Every structure is written in C-alpha cells, then in structure tokens.
Chain A
Amino acid sequence: MEKKVRLLIGKVGLDGHDRGVKIVARALRDAGFEVIYTGLHQTPEAIVNMAIQEGVDAIGLSILSGAHLELFERVLHLLKEKGATIPVFGGGIIPPEDIVALKKMGVKEAFTPGALTDQIVKWIEDNIVPQSL
C-alpha cells in the first residue's frame, strides 16, 4: 500500500493571521494528505522539534508579518543543525524578490495571496514524496 504524505502545517512567528493556513491545511487534508496543524505563534525551535518527532515529509509555514526571511532562515538552520532533510515550503505576504531569496536559501516554494488551494495541492503531489519507512 502506498504511504500517505505526512505534512506539518504551521504558523511561525507572532502574527495571528490563520485564515490562509487553515484553509490550506484543510484543503491538503481533503486531498488525502496527512496533516498536522501546529496552531499559532510557534517558534522555529518548536516547529523543527515537532517536524522531527512527527516524522513528517515536509513542513509548510505561513507568515504574514514580513518576518519570513529571518524565520525561514532560522528553521532551515535548525533543521540542518539536527541533520534533518525535511523540505520546507510556505506562504504569506512575501514580495517576489524575497521569494527568490527564500528559494536560494533552500525553501522549496512560496505561495502568495491569490494562490488557489488546488495549485498548492498539485505542487505537493509533484514535489513531495513520502520518506521511506
């Protein structure tokens, strides 16, 4: 039997805008992925610990406060420090040139307002594979 893709979807940083992340989390769950939602106001440390403990196949983070460069950088750094190779993607209020910077940093993809959930589902299907057991 094919293993389900398991995703950690979360809010990192201080902003409380969770409309988008919850819609995405639900759409991903409805599309058949296993979704763990972190709740609001998580630190990068908490996100990385949860992702490793839960053995997820990817981490999706939502940031709408403008702190995306620093917070993604910190999450990627902590993952590397712990020797984890979990792909990270995200979304939020992110200017195009920052998306370029994020990708250079190692973030796999970043979605902005106006992205349809179908596009996000398709991106996961095309890019995230379940880790071997």
Chain B
Amino acid sequence: MGTSPTLNTTSLSGIPFETFYDERDIEGFDYQAKLGDPGTFPFTRGIHGDMYRGRLWTMRQFAGFGTASDTNARFRYLLSQGQTGLSVAFDMPTLMGFDSDHPSSLGEVGKCGVAVDSIEDMDELFAEIPVGEVSTSMTINCTAPIVFAMYLALAKRRGVPLSSLKGTLQNDMLKEFIAQKEWIYPIEPSLKLTIDIVEFCTNHVPLWNTISISGYHIREAGSTAVQELAFTLSDGLEYVKRAIGRGLGVDQFAGRYSFFFNAHIDFFEEIAKYRAARRVWAREMKERYGVKDERSLWMRFHTQTAGCSLTAQQPHNNIVRTAIEALAAVLGGTQSLHTNSLDETYALPTEFAATLALRTQQVLAYETGVPSTGDPLGGSYFIESLTDEIEGRAMDYIRRIDEYGGMVPAIEAGFPQKEIQEAACLYQNELNQGKRTVVGVNAFASDEDESIPLLRVGRKQQEEQIRKVRELRARRSNAAAQKGLDALKRAAEQGENLIPALVLAVESLATLGEVAKALQDVYGKYREVSYI
C-alpha cells in the first residue's frame, strides 16, 4: 500500500482534467442552443423553469425484505418519517419468476427484498397504505407484467380506479440483457411484454411511468459514465421505436418513459452526465421521432447513489461518499433520489442506517440552500466543457449502436456487455496498481475492526413464506387457477396484449411462479453466452 495516494487527474470515464478551464474551452458557446433557460429546449439546465422551488425531488428509499408484512411495516415507518414515495425491492425468486417453495429459491426468500408469491402477498404489502394516493415504484423487470397485474388486481379489489394509480415500473429488459442479468424469456418476447405494459398503461393507467430506462445497473456492472449515458439512451430510443411500432403515437406514451441513473463518486463528471443526458434525449426525440408535446422531450429521472462505490472496509466512510453523490444528483437536477445506507456492502440496511440515508437527503434539501437555484453550475467553463465532452463521447457510442441496427443486434453481438466488462477490469487494475485511490481500501487502510450492527433476515421468515404459498395452493380452487393459466397461454400464443389475461390469472390465485412458467412454456428461455 502506497504512502502517498494518487490524486485523480482523469475522470472515471478516462476524460483528462485540465488544471483550470477558461473561455477557450467553450469557444463559440451558444447559450440558447447549448443550454436555454431551465424548462426550455434543450433542457440541459433542467426540465422545469422553477426547478426545485416548484417541486422538490421525491425522496424515495428502496426497501423490501422478508415477508410482505415485514416490508409493510418498514414502508409505514418510512412514510411516517417524511419519505414521499414508496419503492419496492423484491427478493430474487420474485424477480426471477420462482415461487418461494421452488428448489431454485433455496436461501433466497426474503433476502434481498420482499417475497411476493400471489395477490394475497401484494395485498399484505400495501396493508393500510392507500394505493390510490401514494406513488409506488417497483423495481422489477422480467416478472414486471405479473407483479403489475397483481397491483392492478389489488386496486380493483379495493375499488380504486386504475386511472388514479401513480407509480413506476422498472420494466427495462434491455439493461437486464446488458448488465443486471435477470431474465426468463428470450429478448423478443421479453420486449413484447415490456411494450404490452406501455400500451396498457397508455390506454388505462395514464399516470403510470411505464418504463424506468436504467443506467444504474449498467454503471454498477462496471461501465463508465459515458457508457452508462450512451447505452441507456440507446435503450430508450429502442423502446420508443417499439411502442411506435405497436401503433401508439409518440406523444401518447413518451412522456411516461422515465430514466434512472447512478450517482457515482466522480463529482463533476456525474453532474455533467445528467446535463448531457437531458440535452441528448431532447434533441434525439425531436430529430428522430418528430415529437410535438414538450413533455415527450423531458428526460425525467430518478437517481441512486452508487452501491459499487461503497466499501466493506471502514463502512462509516460510506456515509460521506453517499452524501457527496447525492449532492451531485441534486446539482444535476434529478427528480427523485435514493441514498444508499452505510451497511449495504454487508447486508440490507438496518432501520437506523436507512433513516440516516434519508436524513442525508433532508439535510441536503432543507439546510444547504442547494435546491433554491436551478442548475447552479451552468456556465462554469469546466462544467460546460465536460458536458460537451461527455455528450460527444456518448454520441459516438450511440452511433455505433445505430450501426449495429439498434440495441437488440448490439446486445446479440455482445457489444455493450464487452465494453462494460473491459471498463470494469480496467478500473480494477487501476485500483490494484494504486493508480486510483479508494480510501480505506488501497490507501489509509486500517487494521482496526470497525464492526457495525446488521439486519438479519432469518430462516423463520423463509419458512413462513413457504408455508403461506403452500397453504394458498391447498385452499384455492385449482381448477380456477388452471383456467386462468390456460387462458393466459392462449393469449400469449395469439400475440395479444397480455395484461388483461395476467390480471385474470392472478385474480384466480395462480402464483407468480405458475404464471411465469406458463409464459415460459410459450416463449422459451434466454441463454447467455458468457466469457471472461
């Protein structure tokens, strides 16, 4: 371990930083063309004229563990502490389409999120929470149509009109094939289901954000900021193309696409990334799809601080990292924010750690004065130069993906996957060689044991969940469930929009695993070609 750690002079994306910047770095700068005021095209400075004065970002902490009632208690606690929206983390079996008692669910039930096997679990998850009033974000992808069908069925049960439901489904399968790697079906049927949700919501659930086009996982998988931006926007353009292909008008649905970015530790690069993202999206939507409604040009995004920037060593340092990353997200104009907890390199957060993470946002919002002025760094020689540089590098990638014929052929060729893997290895080598410094890891390391209290999700909760799903199968009418599943399969074979059939299937008390399997019988399974 070196005694004099390296000071970074290149960004995490490899952009060299100058000692200082002046007007020569933004020669020919055209305010209207490059920036415009906040709330005006190309929205570099933000999508709203009054920025956070009009509406503060939503403090939305991702939560979920154990059984539905465990998570329900955490939700109600977070709402009571001033959180303004819910965000559901599901466990791995729910994310991958397995019931809690399936052999593949061994050890995974309720571990990294909440287990949901049926509409009854969904009902318990939202007990005493008014689903017609709160906005609920659900991080779910290959099983998004099934879980969304449960949420719709729950609203029906409670007499809540679908038109009043507010929330977000992640529903972004392209980034699954690129980075997060939770899938069931091959690419084409996966995307068909994605667009089924878009189409259904456009017609019936107009306040729902249908896809959260996610760079977060791409970044966590090891990409640079430039790759995160480029691959996410290319994914977004693909979803626009496909919804138009379904016969929807771009201005009918594009305003309900939202984005999800990472806030990593390279402070200025992140701020420039968000600014470039808004500009590129607005311009590409205008030029490629002839958007008329201004809302279709808005890049609205949620941000989460970077899990991969946190360290197991000296975990209290993670509080500081998260605060800095959250500041970058706010200076970059995010609409919604999740701040990570200090203990997340070990386990799901304790209530204490999750509260501290929320308090970090509250300090930022109410004490620092930062939200009072929109895009406060706009016009900085450095920030404008960096925004242009990131935009230019991202556009190079976007053009390369266009040359493949769009994101699907690019994924089939392994292009984004390989680029991310190379970037991840490069970063690791820089750490190993001390070319990049991480405090507590390759500099200022300490032998002292800094132990912190951790949340435990015990086997008792797993056993309870397994008991519940088996009890449900024993109690329900199996004939009714089978009828629901058969109707779903027929609808899938005929290429219909599957949301109505999914709602009927989950209402017949078919379980998540049974529904996922029924669709797999029709669509088959995705197989990844992996390499190291």
Contacts and interface: CB of A to CB of B under 8 A. Distances in A.
A67 B107 contact: yes
A27 B428 contact: yes
15 contacts: A14-B104, A16-B176, A17-B180, A17-B181, A17-B220, A17-B221, A19-B308, A23-B222, A29-B532, A64-B112, A66-B108, A67-B92, A68-B107, A70-B106, A114-B311
Contact of A69 (B107, B311, B432, B438): B107
Interface string B167-187: 000000000100011100000
A71 B181 contact: no
B150 interface: no
B217 to A, nearest CB: 9
Contacts of B440: 114
B346 A14 contact: no
A96 B108 contact: no
Nearest to B105: A14
B431 A14 contact: no
A74 B532 contact: no
A71 B528 CA distance: 22
Interface of A: 13-19, 22-23, 25-27, 29, 35, 37, 39-41, 43-44, 64-71, 74, 93-97, 112-118
A35 B220 CA distance: 24
B424 A15 contact: no
The 9 lowest CB-CB distance pairs between A and B, nearest first, are A70-B107, A16-B181, A67-B107, A66-B111, A14-B92, A112-B312, A114-B311, A39-B530, A25-B532
Given A70-B106, A117-B432, A65 B442 contact: no
Nearest to A69: B107
Contacts of A95: 346-347, 454
B207 interface: no
A96 B112 contact: no
A54 B378 CA distance: 58
A102 B457 CA distance: 16
Interface string B411-436: 00000000001001100100110000
| Residue from A18, A74, A118 having most chain B Cβ neighbours under 10 A | A18
A52 B65 CA distance: 36
A117 B396 CA distance: 32
Contact of A65 (B111, B312, B531): B111
Question: Taking chain B's interface residues, is the majority helix, strand, or loop, or is none over half, making it mixed?
Answer: loop
A69 to B, nearest CB: 7
Contacts of B425: 22-23, 26
| Residue from B107, B312, B347 having most chain A Cβ neighbours under 10 A | B107
Given A27-B428, A29-B532, A43-B103, A13 B345 contact: no
Given A27-B428, A93-B347, 20 more contacts: A13-B106, A14-B98, A16-B182, A17-B221, A19-B222, A23-B222, A23-B428, A25-B532, A35-B532, A37-B530, A65-B112, A66-B107, A66-B457, A68-B107, A93-B344, A93-B345, A112-B346, A113-B345, A114-B312, A118-B432
B92 A13 contact: yes
Given A15-B92, A19-B222, A114 B345 contact: yes
Contacts of A118: 432
Interface in B446-493: 451, 454, 457
A115 B312 CA distance: 9
A19 B92 contact: no
Contacts of A27: 428
A114 B313 contact: yes
B26 interface: no
B101 to A, nearest CB: 14
A129 to B, nearest CB: 23
B446 to A, nearest CB: 12
